[in-house]
A and B are shown apart, each in its own frame.
Chain A
Amino acid sequence: MKQSEAFEILAAFAEKHNALIVSDIGSQSLWLKAAKDRPENLYLSGPMGMASSVALGVATAHKDRLVIAACGDGALAMNMTSLATISNTKPSNLMVVVMNNGIYEFTKSLPAPSNGVNWNNISATYPGFQNTVDLAGMDGLNPQNGPHFVHAKIEPGQLPPGPGMHAIDVHHRFKGLFSA
């Protein structure tokens, strides 16, 4: 599956569940924007690997909304400790999705050390996660009974279309969703 197709599935799932999505730098943010640009999308374009942590903050702030972290495998490998924190915190409204192509797409497709991770077994290593499913299994999840981990195996070699949004615009558009 191409990453563009994976994001079309994820964006449709998010829209169906009125979910908020936090996406990682570069590839994930741009493919999410291309699939479906919504104010509910919080695009990260600077900090590599922080989507899972930012999403945990959003999920804690808005416990009545499903929050999805859309992570790259190389990015999430830079912040694996966030999985321990999420496992320990157990936010029931959080879903972490890893888009796994095994390479740094934006860095001339160098192989990523995330190839050393078994993404299919995350809920065994981090038992606070209720389960680990693939993208096809996402529809069978109860979004309010997380946290869940979704492993989306994608093909390498597909650079996303630009441009992205300015960070300040992303911040204020997202925060505007919660204004009284």
Chain B
Amino acid sequence: MIKNILDALDQHNIHTTTGVPDGWLVPLIKGLSEDKRFDYIAAAREEECFGIASGIAMSGKRSMVLIQNSGFLNAIGAFTTLCQKYQTPFVCLVANRGGINDSNSYDPNKYRSFEATTRAMSLFTHPSSWEDLPTNIPKAMARSEGAGEPAFITLYEGLKS
């Protein structure tokens, strides 16, 4: 599964990624970190991810951000004043915690606020299974470049082993 995602990223020239980890994203982050085809920049905070991805986009290259839904909520200011204002395209893969697959008491508010905020901001979000990521990430990248804005892919569960 992870190999298929990495191969798809490679084939579509998405060689730089950055993120703040979520438990669901760990297998993919490990894959990116250990594969010499890719640079994975471990950021301390999600605003940085949006800055790094925007710098890459304005350098004419592709990138992907990996964060949890609460991380997007942390970074809305940078998203609006940088990514939207400068129209920087990249893919943002979001672990959308707090939905049907989460029983943690601390996750539902993240889900509610992420859903409400992205809808209110009219942001492009597309839910995806892990199996569909090798096709959905390249499509989201193309959509992002065409629209001149980041494209969000949301995961609703962790990777089943």
Q: Which of A22, A46, A58, A85 contacts B85 (CB 8 A)?
A: A46
Cβ of A53 and Cβ of B56 under 8 Å apart?
Answer: no
Is B22's CB within 8 Å of the partner chain A? no
Cβ of B41 and Cβ of A60 under 8 Å apart?
Answer: yes
Q: Mark A151-177, 1 if CB is under 8 A from B, else 0.
A: 000000000000000011011001100
Cβ of A54 and Cβ of B51 under 8 Å apart?
Answer: yes
Is A44's CB within 8 Å of the partner chain B? yes
* Given the contacts A50-B82, A56-B51, A88 and B42 also touching, CB distance less than 8 Å: yes
* Given the contacts A60-B16, A61-B59, A54 and B87 also touching, CB distance less than 8 Å: no
A126-180 interface with B by 8 A CB criterion: 167-168, 170-171, 174-175, 178-179
Cβ of A79 and Cβ of B47 under 8 Å apart?
Answer: yes
Number of A-B contacts (CB under 8 A): 113
A-side interface mostly:
helix
Is A2's CB within 8 Å of the partner chain B? no
Q: Which residues of B contact A85 (CB under 8 A)?
A: 41-44, 48
- Chain A interface, number of residues (Cβ within 8 angstroms): 35
Cβ of A57 and Cβ of B54 under 8 Å apart?
Answer: yes
Q: Which residues of B contact A84 (CB under 8 A)?
A: 44
A84-114 interface with B by 8 A CB criterion: 84-85, 88-89
Q: Mark B21-52, 1 if CB is under 8 A from A, else 0.
A: 00000000000000000010111110110111
Is A82's CB within 8 Å of the partner chain B? yes
Is A116's CB within 8 Å of the partner chain B? no
Q: Which residues of B contact A81 (CB under 8 A)?
A: 43-45, 48
Is A76's CB within 8 Å of the partner chain B? no
Is A62's CB within 8 Å of the partner chain B? yes
Residues of B within 8 A of A (CB): 16, 18, 39, 41-45, 47-48, 50-61, 63, 77-78, 80-82, 85-88
